[in-house]
C-alpha cells in the first residue's frame, strides 16, 4: 500500500502567456534547459506554444513537480500562469518525452483554438474541465511525429 502511494506520479497541466512573442532561439533555449534538467529529475511532459500562449504538462515525483512548478511559475518569460489540472496518476501519460514540443504551425485543431480563446477571454471555468488533457493526449496519439 505504502509503496503503491509512493510510486504515484503528480501531473500538472497549466496555461500561460509569454511576455513577448518568442522566436525559435528563445523557445529552443527553454527546451534545452528543460530537457537537460528533466532528464536529471525524471520529469516528463510536453510543451505547446502557439500565438504567445504556452500549454505544458509536467509529470514526476510529487516533491519534484512541486519545486519545478514553483520555479516555472516564477519565470519572468511568461505570466498569467493558470493551473488547469493537478492530479496524482498511477502511470505517466507522456513517458517518452523529457519535454516534447508540439508545433501546430498554421493548423491548430479547433479544440486548441477554443482553449486559447477561453484563456484569452478569462473564461477559466470553461478550460478547467479536462479538455486540455484530452487535447494533449490527442496530440500524443495522432501527431507523435510533431512532438520532438
| Whether 50 contacts 27, CB under 8 Å | no
Among 48, 65, 72, 112, binds ligand FMN (CB under 6 A): 72
Among 8, 17, 27, 37, binds ligand FMN (CB under 6 A): 37
Nearer to ligand FMN, 33 or 83 (CB): 33
Does position 75 interact with ligand FMN (CB under 6 A)? The reply is yes
Q: Which stretch binds ligand FMN (CB under 6 A): 30-38, 83-91, 121-129, 133-141?
A: 30-38
Residues touching ligand FMN, count (CB under 6 A): 16
Question: Cell digits for 64?
Answer: 519534484
What are the angstrom distances between the C-alpha of 57 and each of 1, 2, 4, 45?
27, 26, 23, 5
* Phi-psi domain of 110 (left: phi exceeds 0; alpha: psi -120 through 50; beta: other): alpha
100-102/44-50 β-pairing = parallel
Site residues for ligand FMN per CB under 6 A: 30, 33-34, 37-38, 47, 54, 56, 58, 68, 71-72, 75, 77-78, 99
Amino acid at each position: 500500500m505504502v509503496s503503491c502511494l509512493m510510486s504515484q506520479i503528480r501531473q500538472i497541466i497549466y496555461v500561460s502567456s509569454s511576455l513577448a512573442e518568442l522566436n525559435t532561439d528563445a523557445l529552443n533555449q527553454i527546451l534545452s534547459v528543460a530537457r537537460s534538467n528533466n532528464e536529471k529529475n525524471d520529469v516528463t511532459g510536453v510543451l505547446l506554444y502557439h500565438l504567445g500562449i504556452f500549454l505544458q504538462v509536467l509529470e514526476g515525483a510529487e516533491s519534484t513537480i512541486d519545486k519545478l512548478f514553483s520555479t516555472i511559475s516564477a519565470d519572468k518569460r511568461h505570466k498569467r500562469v493558470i493551473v488547469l489540472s493537478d492530479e496524482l496518476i498511477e502511470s505517466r501519460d507522456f513517458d517518452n518525452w523529457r519535454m516534447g514540443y508540439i508545433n501546430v504551425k498554421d493548423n491548430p485543431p479547433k479544440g486548441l483554438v477554443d482553449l486559447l480563446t477561453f484563456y484569452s477571454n478569462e473564461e477559466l471555468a470553461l478550460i478547467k474541465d479536462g479538455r486540455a488533457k484530452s487535447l494533449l493526449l490527442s496530440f500524443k496519439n495522432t501527431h507523435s511525429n510533431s512532438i520532438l
